[in-house]
């Protein structure tokens, strides 16, 4: 948070001009958000990072409620998928502390350790919901847009190749990072459909499905 201008986060002049308060580094640090890490995922694009933050907080209540519903129903499969998603999306914005705690819940779920899940999940969800108040003041107005990069054939092809390699060795972190990078490009509608299908398959840990989507995409790209 100290390198506001360099990292693309708002400095005092920018926030005053846009009518939003200057960000307080202490709040972000206390919430466990490393903006430098988040910006790295966003390709050092500050505007894109704010868009990703806005998308993240727009889903908080819905996602938290889905986790609670899965807990109440003792639906271990859905719970595992939801906390895996929380782990991945939190890491993408730089909320590494929350990501690590979601990873712990995912590991407990895979071992079906319900006692540990019930003990830890409420605080994780409370902290997750608490991020809204920290992040919301610094997000763009409703329906924000950022200028996406032109869909460079070589760059997208390289990301698809990287995705394939990560999927071949079941590297979900690498695959998710490559998929997130594809969001930066101004893709045609047909390729956006592939990307949405791919992100959904990654959330289900459907590696075979992911490989099939990437294979079809590469054939027509």
Q: What is the pLDDT of residues 74-88, one digit of tens each?
A: 999 889 988 998 998
The pLDDT tens digits for 199-213 are 777 766 778 889 999
Rounded to whole angstroms, how far apart are CA atoms 45 and 49? 6
> Are 54 and 115 within 8 A, CB to CB?
no
- Max distance between CA atoms of the chain, in angstroms, equals 51
> Are 138 and 20 within 8 A, CB to CB?
yes
Q: Give the pLDDT of residue 212.
A: 94
Does the pTM of the predicted model rise above 0.75?
no
- Burial per residue of 188-202, b for 16 or more beta-carbon CB atoms within 10 angstroms, e otherwise: eeebeebbebbbebb
Contacts 24+ apart (CB under 8 A), 191-199: 191/151, 191/217, 191/221, 198/163
Short-list 177, 164, 166, 159, CA closest to 215: 164
27 pLDDT band, cuts 50/70/90, is: low
Domains annotated for the chain, with CATH where assigned, are 1-145 (1.20.120), 149-220 (no CATH)
The more confident residue out of 92 and 104 is 104
**With pLDDT > 70 as the criterion, what percentage of the chain qualifies?**
82
Rounded to whole angstroms, how far apart are CA atoms 26 and 21? 14
73 pLDDT band, cuts 50/70/90, is: very high
* Mean pLDDT within 41-65: 85
Using CA atoms, how far residue 105 sits from 67, 109, 120, 145, in Å, is 11, 6, 8, 34
Mean per-residue pLDDT over the chain, rounded: 80
Short-list 178, 217, 169, CA closest to 43: 178
Distance, first Cα to last Cα, the chain? 39
The pLDDT tens digits for 144-167 are 444 667 888 898 999 999 999 989
* Mean pLDDT within 108-116: 94
Provide the token pair at 111: 């071992």
Q: Give the pLDDT of residue 204.
A: 66
Residues in the chain: 221
220 pLDDT band, cuts 50/70/90, is: very high
* Mean pLDDT within 8-35: 55
Q: Please tell me the chain's helix, strand, coil percentages from 3-state DSSP, rounded to the nearest 5.
A: 75, 0, 25
The pLDDT tens digits for 166-189 are 898 887 777 877 887 787 788 888
Backbone angles phi, psi at 150, to 5 degrees: -55, 145
**Is residue 185 within a helix (H) or strand (E), and if so which, with residue range?**
strand 185-186
Q: Give the pLDDT of residue 2.
A: 36
Distant-in-sequence, close-in-space partners of 92: CB < 8 Å, separation ≥ 6: 38, 41, 52, 56, 176, 180
């Amino acid at each position: 948070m100290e390198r506001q201008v360099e990292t693309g986060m708002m400095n005092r002049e920018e926030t005053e001009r846009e009518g939003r308060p200057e960000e307080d580094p202490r709040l972000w640090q206390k919430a466990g958000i490393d903006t430098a890490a988040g910006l790295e995922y966003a390709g050092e694009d500050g505007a894109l990072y704010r868009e990703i933050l806005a998308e993240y907080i727009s889903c908080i209540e819905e996602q938290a409620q889905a986790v609670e519903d899965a807990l109440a129903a003792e639906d271990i499969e859905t719970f595992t998928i939801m906390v895996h998603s929380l782990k991945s999306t939190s890491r993408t914005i730089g909320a590494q502390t929350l990501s690590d705690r979601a990873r712990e819940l995912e590991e407990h779920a895979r071992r079906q350790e319900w006692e540990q899940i019930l003990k830890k999940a409420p605080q994780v969800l409370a902290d997750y919901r608490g991020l809204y108040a920290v992040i919301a003041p610094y997000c763009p107005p409703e329906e924000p847009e950022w200028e996406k990069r032109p869909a460079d054939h070589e760059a997208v092809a390289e990301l698809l190749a990287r995705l394939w390699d990560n999927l071949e060795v079941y590297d979900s972190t690498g695959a998710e990072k490559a998929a997130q990078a594809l969001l930066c490009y101004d893709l045609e509608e047909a390729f956006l459909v592939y990307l949405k299908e791919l992100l959904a398959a990654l959330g289900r840990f459907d590696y075979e499905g992911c490989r099939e989507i990437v294979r079809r995409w590469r054939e027509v790209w």
